[in-house]
Amino acid sequence: MALLEVRDIHTYYDSIHALQGISLHVDQGEIVTLIGANGAGKTTTLNTICGLLQPSQGQILLEGRPLHELKAHEIVKLGLAQVPEGRKIFSRLTVIENLEMGAYARDDKPGIQGDIARILELFPQLQGREKQLGGTLSGGEQQMLAMGRALMARPSLVLLDEPSMGLAPILVERIFETIQEINGQGTTVLLVEQNALMALSVAHRGYVLQTGRIVKHDLAQALLEDEDVRRAYLGQTFTVDA
């Protein structure tokens, strides 16, 4: 059984049919990426999975448990956390307070303190900044804080929405290295990312979205070598050597 199953999901924004029968799955231990142009439905897919939007049709299952009729805070308690596009940290709270907010549904204080120490080890750029207000951090540091806040929920699945947005290339590389570290420590990842090359480079599998529909699905390496994908999303043409 897949960790996450999305079955024939339809989601509307008023009269706009944003998702038109999306089906996908994420297995335990995978990094799966959704790629596509702006407006293809990538963020809408994540927001529907995590309960910020309600589908009009279809099913969403996490370890076989239905999510599609639950509220977002109920879904977090079942083991799913999202790092939203634009980070959306609490700018007037300190680094530590932001991390503690990620653990709001937990009541194990010793475990929470241990996880804060683990997050600071995972993101050494935040060490020494524990009492600094989130809003005064750089963009890269805010992204690390947003990822750390999500991990504080001890999720089995993390949804990452455009983690490289607005970051310098060297920070983008560090963020993707961290995604692989998080995955290596046992957290499954569903990744939406405009930088399709980086996303497919770290993912196991990928889905290509186009105007609310999945038009391709394959192993990440196969998508990297797909001529249509390279032309549309990687800005490249591709020739296979004989």
Q: What's the pLDDT at 108?
A: 87
Tokens of 205: 């599998």
Is there a domain that residue 28 lies in?
yes
Task: Give the chain's domain count.
Answer: 1
Is there a domain that residue 108 lies in?
no
Contacts of 174 (CB under 8 A, 6+ apart): 140
Does residue 192 register a pLDDT over 60? yes
Is there a domain that residue 118 lies in?
no
Q: What's the pLDDT at 221?
A: 97
- Per-residue three-class SS string for 131-195: CCEHHHCCHHHHHHHHHHHHHCCCCCEEEEECCCCCCCHHHHHHHHHHHHHHHHCCCEEEEECCC
Contacts of 163 (CB under 8 A, 6+ apart): 83, 143, 147, 175, 176, 179, 191, 193
Is there a domain that residue 110 lies in?
no
For the beta sheet containing 57-62, the strands, ordered from the edge strand earlier in sequence to the opposite edge, are 16-26, 4-13, 57-62, 65-66
Model confidence pLDDT, tens digit, residues 4-39? 999 999 999 989 999 999 999 999 999 999 999 999
Is 15 exposed, middle or buried (CB count within 10 Å of its CB: 0-12, 13-18, 19+)? exposed
pTM for the full model?
A: 0.91
Q: Give the model's confidence band at 49: pLDDT under 50 very low, under 70 low, under 90 confident, else very high.
A: very high
Model confidence pLDDT, tens digit, residues 153-183? 999 999 999 999 888 888 899 999 999 999 9
Is there a domain that residue 134 lies in?
no
Is there a domain that residue 109 lies in?
no
The parent domain of residue 195 ranges over 4-91+157-234
Neighbours of 227 (CB within 10 A): 12
Q: What's the pLDDT at 242?
A: 31
Is there a domain that residue 117 lies in?
no
**139 touches 85 (CB < 8 A):** no
Average pLDDT of 77-103? Answer: 93
Q: What's the pLDDT at 236?
A: 56
CATH of residue 87: 3.40.50.300
Percent residues over pLDDT 90 in the chain: 81
Is there a domain that residue 46 lies in?
yes
